[in-house]
């Protein structure tokens, strides 16, 4: 070729071409050419060439057209580096003019020729000359008549003749596609899909394989798997006398590919072409080492492959495809692991609305986070938390959410917002924590102050009414809808077992209740990394006892009330140990300030006074006495354990008695007892002495032996800095990055929402550090703590149990810092298992 071969390249088996310079489509076409598949002649324009075209610097059109002969008929398609970044739509039939129309009429018949010309005039007018599509509204569906009308309309609008020179047509097409890519809208769209701002566009100019004409002609799309399930099944459609992807929208005339009871198929119509297609696609799968979709044309019985694309897939299919490619020996297991985005697993980890079940759709919105759940409507984060404390499933309904709502979101089973899109706060957080979420339900009239919602059909819902959120399909459904359990099919289990085979950092779950523990076990968590025991006291029957304990005047009275809490706690722990079947369970001793258990309003005080048979003034005084200016930095955690030691004594006894109980039936249990909010070695010494004493007492009383491990939660900066003092006293250090972030920044976890978005918007923080671990600051404390802890006690087990534990980037950090495990909420366990496995594979690949 005459042209600059680096930038304008005829696709041959050994042309110099790369996805990074010519785009993924061009590179894929070259691979098909190398396989000797029937690909029409194609020229690839590099990113640089297209960039120059956008700037007005056109290539030598004559030379560009030379390989296509005297009367070329061409199509142009975009070829971005990653096909998922999109690009302008393909333009077909370039080159047709009055002269070729006559020739084509002789060859294909007049109707087919008119159809081809008409289609080109239409797409040229709208996409290249950018005329108002309305001008073609009245064009007849009869191709011959339609063609002359369309040409007239074009000429009337532009006051120019429709361009006849193929070189002019092609130049204009190239220019318009190159410019479209550089426009702001296209840039924003691709950036939203993860493309860098300066991502390049390549173009491919291909000789047209006509899907119209005599003999069996048509076009279609074929792939060998189902894009929703990953099941191996020939999928696609074919439409006679069609071009491009028309078969996919071709309605009743479109044929199935394989013989199908639902209707006629290509296999019956043109068996040889069908067999050829099947074998081409299978070859693409094997040689391109990927499940591919082929766009094809049949021209008088002969098959041409125009394009190969990675099969579009949801998360479930992605897993199925990766596993089947590895099982067929096409890719390695490691590669299969690398092909599934860990966060995408969220999609198959959740319950879904049963598609067979009847449903009553109240409204629609954006499907922002997959899964489905039913619950009662609440309108604030506080109500959501209260609802959770009562053990009642609730749906948090907000205009939009902000970081202040995070705790409420954790407490809710699903979220619905009026505003927002896929990257709004509710959507991002919902996906992160695996919470079904519908956002942007703007057809619903939100009357937040009146605590009600008016649905598009006029139905009014109030706080407490039950709805179902279908976050997979973006639906709000009335009442409780039957749900299907998550689709953890055989492929998922296989991929996960491969992940566990290579992973070198363990994953545990944060689980407070038997239900959480069941999920954790089902997701094959290596154990429980954090059981927040205080959640057990919020249950109705315990709250009153807890309050009595708080109101007890003397240590003796307090001990008496704790006697009543003891069997409840013992039962809690026995349940957890049984469910976890001998896997480690790390129980954190009581952490929050006591006043969190007291009522906040007068009515609550009155109720409590009645229950405790005390004067109201006593109750009010006591509540006031317990209030603190900074409760999160006040009397909580180990400070409570030292000043009111009976609580930890009771908990330790409950843990040890449950250990003995659960060990009777199954694997011996070795409980882990974790002290929260430590800042000084002496705190650990004091608590350890008492807990050892409780253990000795339980051994004496029962005559049974057991061991336990004591550990410290490192969540104050001082504990991280002084880890060298603390580590020799304990078996493990677990970093609580929620509090550690709060204290490192001096930033209230509960109030940061007020300014966090401003801070992130103005680049003060790159991200919300409560969501993404701050590697520079908090991370440095983690490293210091880990190094000093390990130096002082080489056997100390290191882990992270803050929310960051389930985040793939944080897992990478913890693994590099030599941690033994991460612990995260149960639904994030598979994501963490896969993310951790990918880190090992990446290291291996180098
Ligand atoms: C932490 O502080 O990181 C933690 C896990 O504990 P909590 O969130 O209960 O304070
Ligand atoms: Mg904490």
For the stretch 583-596, pLDDT in tens is: 999 999 999 888 88
Residue 243: the pLDDT is: 85
Percent of the chain with pLDDT over 90: 67
Residue 18 is a catalytic residue? no
Per-residue pLDDT tens digits for 36-61: 999 999 999 999 999 999 999 999 99
Nearest alpha carbon to residue 240 among 260, 268, 218, 208: 218
pLDDT above 60 (res 135): yes
Mean pLDDT, residues 327-340 taken together: 97
Examine the pLDDT at 2 and tell me if it is beyond 50: no
Q: Which residues pair with 585 in a beta bridge?
A: 528
Q: Among 398, 407, 406, which Cα is nearest to 379's?
A: 398
Q: What domains are there in the chain, each with its CATH number?
A: 8-207 (3.30.1490.20), 218-313 (3.30.470.20), 358-484 (3.50.30.10), 503-593+628-845 (3.20.20.60)
Strands 466-470 and 475-478: antiparallel
Cα separations in angstroms, 266 against 68, 215, 235, 280, 299: 30, 14, 12, 15, 14
What number is the average pLDDT over the span 532-552?
A: 82
Q: How far apart are CA 745 and CA 612, in angstroms?
A: 41
List for the chain the helix, strand, coil content (%; round to 5): 50, 20, 35
Give the integer Cα–Cα distance in Å for 475 and 465. 16
532 lines ligand 1 (CB under 6 A): yes
State the pLDDT confidence band at 492, using cuts at 50, 70 and 90.
very high
- Locate 541 and state its tokens: 């029957």
- Token duo for residue 323: 């596993």
pLDDT digit string, tens, across residues 637-675? 999 999 999 999 999 999 999 999 999 988 889 999 999
Average pLDDT estimate for 469-479: 93
Residue 115 Cβ contacting ligand 1 at under 6 Å: no
Q: What backbone phi and psi angles, to 5 degrees, belong to 304?
A: -120, 140
Q: Quickly state the pLDDT bin for 790 (edges 50, 70, 90).
A: very high
* Interval between CA 383 and ligand 1 midpoint (Å): 21
Tokens read off for 440: 């942007």
Per the DSSP assignment, residues forming a β-bridge with 734 are 713, 799
CB hemisphere CA count around 547 (13 angstroms) = 26
pLDDT band at 422 (very low <50, low <70, confident <90, very high): low
149 lines ligand 1 (CB under 6 A): no
What's the maximum distance between 2 C-alpha atoms anywhere in the chain? 107
Tell me the C-alpha distance between 414 and 391, whole Å.
15
Annotation says 425 is catalytic: yes
Return the residue whose CA atom lies nearest to atom 8 of ligand 1: 738
Task: Check if the beta carbon of residue 198 is closer than 8 Å to that of residue 192.
Answer: no
Residue 531 to residues 510, 576, 585, 818, Cα–Cα distance (Å):
6, 9, 8, 23
Q: Does 535 sit in the ligand 1 pocket, CB within 6 Å?
A: no
Question: Residue 539: pLDDT band by 50, 70, 90 thresholds?
Answer: low
What's the whole-number mean pLDDT along residues 194-206?
Answer: 91
d(CA 588, CA 593): 14
Q: Would the pLDDT of 3 be above 50?
A: no
Exactly one of 801, 804, 814, 824 is catalytic; name it.
801
Residue 89, C-beta contacts closer than 8 angstroms, at least 6 positions apart: 78, 127
Dist CA 3 CA 64 (whole Å): 7
pTM of the shown model: 0.80
Q: Which residue has the higher pLDDT, 267 or 244?
A: 267
For the segment 151-169, what is each residue's pLDDT rounded down to a tens digit?
Answer: 999 999 999 999 999 999 9
715 close to ligand 1 (CB < 6 Angstrom): yes
- Specify which residues 416 forms β-bridges with: 397, 438
Ligand 1: nearest atom to the Cα of 738: 3
Task: Give the residue-averaged pLDDT of 511-533.
Answer: 89
Nearest to 121 by CA among 105, 103, 139, 99: 139
Specify whether the CB–CB gap between 659 and 669 falls below 8 A: yes
pLDDT of residue 403: 59
Return the pLDDT at 404: 65
pLDDT band of residue 1 (cuts 50, 70, 90) is very low
Q: Which tens digit of pLDDT belongs to each residue from 808-821?
A: 999 999 999 999 99
The confidence score (pLDDT) of residue 424 equals 64
The pLDDT of residue 188 is above 80:
yes
Active-site annotation holder among 22, 127, 425, 605: 425
pLDDT one-digit tens code per residue, 370-408:
899 999 999 998 999 999 988 899 999 999 887 568 778
User: By the 8 A CB rule, do 177 and 76 touch?
Assistant: yes
SS3 151: helix
At residue 687 the predicted structure's pLDDT band, cuts being 50, 70 and 90, is very high
pLDDT in tens, 549-581: 888 888 888 999 999 999 999 999 999 999 999
User: Are the C-beta atoms of 399 and 445 separated by less than 8 Å?
Assistant: no
The pLDDT value recorded for residue 761 is: 84
Tell me what the pLDDT averaged over the chain comes to. 91
Q: What's the pLDDT band for 186 if we cut at 50, 70, 90?
A: confident
Calculate how far, in angstroms, residue 299's C-alpha sits from the geometric centre of ligand 1: 66
pLDDT at 831: 92
Residue of 528, 713, 742 to mutate, ligand 1, most atoms within 8 A of C-beta: 713
Find, among 795, 660, 782, the residue nearest to 713 by Cα: 782
What are the structure tokens assigned to 641, written together? 């354990």
Q: Whose CA is nearest to atom 5 of ligand 1?
A: 802
pLDDT of residue 602: 87
């Amino acid at each position: 070729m005459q042209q600059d071969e680096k930038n304008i390249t005829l696709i041959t088996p050994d042309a110099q071409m790369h996805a990074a310079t010519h785009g993924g489509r061009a590179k894929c076409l070259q691979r098909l050419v190398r396989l000797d598949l029937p690909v029409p002649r194609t020229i690839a324009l590099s990113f640089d060439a297209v960039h120059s075209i956008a700037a007005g610097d056109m290539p030598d059109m004559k030379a560009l057209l030379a390989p296509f002969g005297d009367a070329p008929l061409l199509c142009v398609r975009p070829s971005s580096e990653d096909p998922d970044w999109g690009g302008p739509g393909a333009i077909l039939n370039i080159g047709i003019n009055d002269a070729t129309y006559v020739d084509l009429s002789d060859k294909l018949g007049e109707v087919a020729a008119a159809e081809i010309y008409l289609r080109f005039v239409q797409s040229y007018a709208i996409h290249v000359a950018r005329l108002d599509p309305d001008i073609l509204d009245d064009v007849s569906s009869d191709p011959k008549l339609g063609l002359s009308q369309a040409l007239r309309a074009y000429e009337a609008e532009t006051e120019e003749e429709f361009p006849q020179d193929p070189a002019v047509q092609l130049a204009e097409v190239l220019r318009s596609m190159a410019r479209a890519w550089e426009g702001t809208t296209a840039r924003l769209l691709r950036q939203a899909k993860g493309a860098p701002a300066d991502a390049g566009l390549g173009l491919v100019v291909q000789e047209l394989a006509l899907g119209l004409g005599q003999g069996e002609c048509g076009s279609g799309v074929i792939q060998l798997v189902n894009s929703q399930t990953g099941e191996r099944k020939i999928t696609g459609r074919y439409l006679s006398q069609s071009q491009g992807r028309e078969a996919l929208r071709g309605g009743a005339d479109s044929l199935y590919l394989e013989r199908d009871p639902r209707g006629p198929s290509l296999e019956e119509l043109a068996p040889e072409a069908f067999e050829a297609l099947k074998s081409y696609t299978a070859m693409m799968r094997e040689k391109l080492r990927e499940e591919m979709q082929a766009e094809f044309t049949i021209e008088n019985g002969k098959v041409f492959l125009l394009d190969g694309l990675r099969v579009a897939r949801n998360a479930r299919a992605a897993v199925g495809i990766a596993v089947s490619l590895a099982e067929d020996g096409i890719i390695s297991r490691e590669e299969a692991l690398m092909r599934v985005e860990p966060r995408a697993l969220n999609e198959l980890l959740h319950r879904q609305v049963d598609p067979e079940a009847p449903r009553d759709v109240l409204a629609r919105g954006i499907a922002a986070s997959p899964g489905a759940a039913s619950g009662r409507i609440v309108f604030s984060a506080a109500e959501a938390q209260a609802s959770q404390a009562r053990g009642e499933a609730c749906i948090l309904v907000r205009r939009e959410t902000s970081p202040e709502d995070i705790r409420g979101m954790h407490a809710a089973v699903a979220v619905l917002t009026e505003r927002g899109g896929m990257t709004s706060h509710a959507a991002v957080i919902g996906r992160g924590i695996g919470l079904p979420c519908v956002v942007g339900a703007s057809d619903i009239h939100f009357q937040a102050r009146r605590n009600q919602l008016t649905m598009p059909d006029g139905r009014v819902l109030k706080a407490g009414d039950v709805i179902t959120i279908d976050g997979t399909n973006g639906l709000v459904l009335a009442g409780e809808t039957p749900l299907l359990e998550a689709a953890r099919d055989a492929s998922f289990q296989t991929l996960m077992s491969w992940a566990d085979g290579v992973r070198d950092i363990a994953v545990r779950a944060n689980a407070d209740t038997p239900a959480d523990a069941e999920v954790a076990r089902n997701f094959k968590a290596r154990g429980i990394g954090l059981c927040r025991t205080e959640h057990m006291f919020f249950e109705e029957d315990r709250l009153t006892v807890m309050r009595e304990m708080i109101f007890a005047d003397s240590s003796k009275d307090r001990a008496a009330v704790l006697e009543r809490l003891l069997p409840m706690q013992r039962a809690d722990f026995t349940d957890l140990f049984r469910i976890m079947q001998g896997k480690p369970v790390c129980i954190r001793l009581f952490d929050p300030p006591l006043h969190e258990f007291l009522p906040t309003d007068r009515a609550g005080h009155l109720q409590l006074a009645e229950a405790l048979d005390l004067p109201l003034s006593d109750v009010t005084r006591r509540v006031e006495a317990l209030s603190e200016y900074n409760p999160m930095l006040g009397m909580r955690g180990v400070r409570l354990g030292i000043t009111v030691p009976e609580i930890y004594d009771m908990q330790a006894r409950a843990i040890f008695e449950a250990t003995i109980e659960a060990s009777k039936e199954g694997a011996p249990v070795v409980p882990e007892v974790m002290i929260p909010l430590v800042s000084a070695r002496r705190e650990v010494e004091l608590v350890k002495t008492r807990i050892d004493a409780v253990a000795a007492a339980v051994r004496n009383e029962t005559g049974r032996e057991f061991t336990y491990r004591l550990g410290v939660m490192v969540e104050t900066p001082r504990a991280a800095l002084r880890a060298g003092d603390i580590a020799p006293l304990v078996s493990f250090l677990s970093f609580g990055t929620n509090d550690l972030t709060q204290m490192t920044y001096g930033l209230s976890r509960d109030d940061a929402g007020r300014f966090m978005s401003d801070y992130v918007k103005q680049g003060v923080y790159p991200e919300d550090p409560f969501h993404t671990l701050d590697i520079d600051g908090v991370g440095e404390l983690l490293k210091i703590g880990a190094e000093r802890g390990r130096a002082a006690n080489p056997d100390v087990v290191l882990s992270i149990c803050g929310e960051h534990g389930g985040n793939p980037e944080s897992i990478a950090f913890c693994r590099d810092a030599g941690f033994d495990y991460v612990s995260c909420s149960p639904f994030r366990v598979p994501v963490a298992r896969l993310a951790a496995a990918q880190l090992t594979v990446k290291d291996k690949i180098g």
